[in-house]
Structure 1
């Protein structure tokens, strides 16, 4: 498998880890700085911070899947392009290579969809 030109999973993981840390530290700061808070308020604040951290972590697998699909589609387009070039090289003007072009066009459509998924889930 080829190496991704865009390491989406690493970028998103670091970003989400920072969000998780900020949410937990913000909640902890709020609880520590407000001495007269009663137990139910502290509990609500801590539960809210856990929900925020869970929501940020839940987005990570979607980005990972989108990035993997993108990488697969890039490879697929490259394979279809190679087949299209090979058809012309071997046809010597006897084949318009429409079948190969149709497969390339389909691979490009799949790649465009994968790019949309990366934009939706990773940024």
Structure 2
């Protein structure tokens, strides 16, 4: 991102994909396999705008044309998201990630941090 002229970046997705993350295996898998054009800015899962995978739940909620405001939408989807997380059903979870998600390569938080530190301009 810096090479393309960015003055800052958000790197949360890289850490979500690590072994230390509380993300489910389905979420970590989605981070590594979801193409940039398969992510979407949506209010479907929480009522707040966020970028994530356009999975079955997001598609169905968006198609309904009815999304409650936050925090009500978050509460409503929370009823099935919790069960989906326990069963590792990624199609029914909030799979938050940035557009460059498949670039997440580190398997541990230490590896991600080291790679980021090595690429910081002026370091």
Normalized against structure 1, the TM-score is what? 0.21
Larger Rg: 1
Q: Which has the higher helix share?
A: 1
Q: Which has the higher strand share?
A: 2
Normalized against structure 2, the TM-score is what? 0.21
